[in-house]
Amino acid sequence: MPGPVPADYGLTERAIEEIRARDRRQADLFVRIVVGSLGTLWLIFTVLIYLYSARRAPLLGLVMAPLLAGLGAVIAGLPVAMAGGLLSWLAHPPHPMSAALERYEAATVGIRICDVCRLARGDSTPKSGVSFCGRCDAWICPECRRRYDRRAIAALKRSRTEAAAQATGQD
């Protein structure tokens, strides 16, 4: 008995490509929002801290301003990531057939490595119940499906490795 096929779920190859392209655009927008916002915050905090310390201890301020600004940007990272997730979802809402694609891929998968566990925690052990999340473009175990913090970390790491791969491919 053959396994499920996309047509069983009302999917065509073109629909699957559209869903994946939409989800990829959403993920790219999320990464641009988070990285751009945190980089801008870091730069603004660095300048403000250095300007404040310029009269009292300019050399110490030159060393400490980027470090303290980085700490401030990291603290601001969670609300920025939440806003980025909402904005990217509003800009690229789910495809009408994305739920069918997730059901199809869940039916065809057995035991897999969770991409979120692998990227966020370094855990490469195969798990059961892993299903594909079209929005994240990753295979996710049931434990990580509810952990949006891990999913955000994995998305940022995935985009960084993809950018590095593209940079080395273009050299």
- Residues 72 and 45: beta-carbon distance below 8 Å: yes
**Do 63 and 140 have their domain in common?**
no
Q: What is the mean pLDDT of residues 4-31?
A: 89
Where residue 159 falls among pLDDT bands split at 50, 70, 90?
confident
Q: Are residues 1 and 45 in the same domain?
A: yes
Tokens linked to 13: 């190859």
Judge if 28 and 56 occupy the same domain.
yes
Same domain, 79 and 134: no
Domain limits for position 169: 109-171
> In this predicted structure, which of 44-48, 106-110, 160-164, 166-170 has the lowest mean pLDDT?
106-110
In this structure, the number of other CB atoms found within 10 A of the CB of residue 106 comes to: 13
116 in the same domain as 84 = no
User: What is the pLDDT averaged over residues 131-146?
Assistant: 83
Note the pLDDT of residue 1: 39
Residues 6+ positions from 61 with CB-CB distance below 8 Å: 49, 50, 52, 53, 54
Q: Each residue of 65-118: pLDDT tens digit?
A: 899 999 999 899 989 999 999 999 899 888 889 888 887 877 776 678 899 999
Number of domains in the chain: 2
Count the residues in the chain: 171
| Structural domain ending residue among the three candidates 60, 94, 128 | 94
Last residue of a domain, one of 94, 124, 148: 94
Q: Is the pLDDT of residue 171 over 60?
A: no
